[in-house]
Structure 1
């Protein structure tokens, strides 16, 4: 098959979060199975740099990058690659099936008329983007009326990460028979030979034995960093030598977090690490005594899987798509979002039970590596692409 992915960001723009990595992993997994896979994307890389080159082949996936009008706007999630509009028709015409990533995207505005005119089958992965959550509400409602609902109604299949997103897609206008559920996964090969966490502590001058709480995600209001800081300040009253490491790219919310840290008087207990990926990311997870993802809304939470694959216990909120999985398999704790005392108590409990958590780390690792490997669901994606291609 000839499979075309259309995504606002793609390999290696990991600073944009788990959505980017998921699009890459699906493309890579199907390319490994012998299919012709191409990705049309923008040159978004991070808040300061653009991705290059304009065209390359990585692990069997051909990547075509088109320049955004502004990298600053792209970092604010306003992707505008004008030249892409002229290149899409040929790519869509050659494809057997098209996979759109993200729900609200100018790239979808460009692609939808061509897909409709050519009657080309496509799959939409919304990646949790359907609900109206933060800002630009009027613009989003206009988009939903003119682009979003037609996307949902015309898609061959709607990909949901879990039953939470399945409900969102149906309530927004999708039909139950369109929806198929498949979680985002991790590349398990990265987690077989893990580094030691001591290097992370040394690099960032963290005490070798201090109880360490880790947050590793975009520093964004929706990720609940302020909720974590408030709870951590409470926890410090019981464990005064605890340290909170905040790792991840700033989405514009870091100054507010730093102000809050100062007001709470815990500047000496909080370290701002910045973006961490590759070996540095794995070292951070290995160094942590507990990983916390306190999101206001999280359709899945890929960093929870990464932390568990490194053996770290985790805490998340009831707004996270993995909450039920974590509770049912005793992989960590789930607290009600906004319950500062509840989160503080769970942090204290995790730090006081560090030795027991280390003994249980291999069980957590094995569960994630067995159930959330991309290779395990690659065949499901292949079957879904083939079913849609037959309808074209």
Structure 2
């Protein structure tokens, strides 16, 4: 079965969890004998890794106006759509998804569509977003053979929002790889114990909430640092200013983007991972920490509340107060963190490794193709 996947970016610095999800899906689909091609707007390091595995990548390039306009060659994209037996479209608010869905419908190809949490933008849409949804987005949703949610909560929200039949929306969660231990040469995260943040320094990820919460408890845990690992999306300067104003010195460390080896090593060495997101479909970094055996403190906006019920960490409100209380609860009883990490590791390994997730997706793809032929 030939499979075409689309996503906005295959740059690990900018594409975040959706880029990593596309990379892992395509790699595991190909390893199971299903040739894959990926169409993306933005090329990057993840694209190069896929090309090294003989997975074809077509990067359109783009022009940035008020929004990103991809340089789509319609004949080139149509060629990819024709060759595919089934198509997986990831991401809602972009013109590549619209163009791919349009061509798939015109050429009689079934497609699965995943917004990956982006339907939250319909809650309080700006005028241009409302226009996009009415003129373009609704058709993508209507013509999809299958909608893919990342969590059961997202599935129920999709069913309620669009009044769809229950069998039209399935859950395919984020997944993780199990990595052999590797020690990186990253002095910033060695030595003192630390709380780890991994993600873009952008408002939606809540780094400001975490830094302020840590500043409030820093005097209580003088040996603990906060490591902020991730690329700057406009907030680093204000965060560093806040750190200076609170006289935290080297207690808060900004590492910038970490590569895969450094990131996995940072997870293993951390006391805990903090995920302060204001909105998230399902936290991929929480899964990555879990498979490394590191407990997690995350907000109730991350789509992974099971963390607390299985004893792998805490779930708190997405506020400074919530995170401050969570940090105190976990740091005051450090001897329990190892057991929490082991509980989360067992849970993640049992439910969220890519090979089993991809097997389920392939089964649904076969069903899509069979139903489309009927």
Match 1:264 to one of 246, 252, 265: 246
* 1:291 partner SS: strand
Question: 1:369/1:52 Cα in 2 relative to 1: closer, same or farther (>3 Å)?
Answer: closer
After TM superposition, the score normalised by the length of structure 2 is 0.91
What's the counterpart of residue 325 of structure 2?
Answer: 345
Q: Greater CA deviation, 149-158 or 362-371?
A: 362-371
Q: Is the 8 A contact 2:189 2:227 kept in 1?
A: no
2:129 matches 1:140: yes
Q: How do 1:193-204 and structure 2 match up within 5 A?
A: 193-196=180-183, 199-200=185-186, 203-204=187-188
* 2:147 partner SS: strand
What's the counterpart of residue 27 of structure 1?
Answer: 26
After TM superposition, the score normalised by the length of structure 1 is 0.87
CA separation in 2, counterparts of 1:84 and 1:316?
Answer: 42
Structure 1 position 13, deviation (Å) = 3.4
CA separation in 1, counterparts of 2:122 and 2:289?
Answer: 26
* 1:8 partner SS: strand
Structure 1 position 262, deviation (Å) = 2.8
CA-to-partner distance for each residue in 1:231-268, whole Å, 9 max, x for gaps?
10111131133211110011112222223223333233
- The two structures, once aligned, show a CA RMSD in angstroms of 2.5
Question: 1:335/1:272 Cα in 2 relative to 1: closer, same or farther (>3 Å)?
Answer: same
Match 1:253 to one of 231, 235, 239: 235
Structure 1 position 211, deviation (Å) = 3.3
CA separation in 2, counterparts of 1:367 and 1:166?
Answer: 21
What's the counterpart of residue 142 of structure 2?
Answer: 153
Match 2:177 to one of 184, 187, 197: 187
Match 2:200 to one of 206, 213, 218: 218
Q: Greater CA deviation, 352-361 or 130-139?
A: 130-139
CA-to-partner distance for each residue in 1:30-68, whole Å, 9 max, x for gaps?
21121121111233338xxx9669xx7443522222222
Q: Greater CA deviation, 23-32 or 126-135?
A: 126-135
Q: Is the 8 A contact 2:268 2:294 kept in 1?
A: yes
Question: 1:205/1:169 Cα in 2 relative to 1: closer, same or farther (>3 Å)?
Answer: closer
What's the counterpart of residue 85 of structure 2?
Answer: 96
What's the counterpart of residue 227 of structure 1?
Answer: 209
Structure 1 position 134, deviation (Å) = 10
CA separation in 2, counterparts of 1:127 and 1:230?
Answer: 29
Match 1:65 to one of 59, 70, 75: 59
Structure 1 position 227, deviation (Å) = 0.8
Structure 1 position 196, deviation (Å) = 4.8
Which consecutive unaligned segments of at least 5 residues does structure 2 have? Answer: none
CA separation in 1, counterparts of 2:34 and 2:48?
Answer: 24
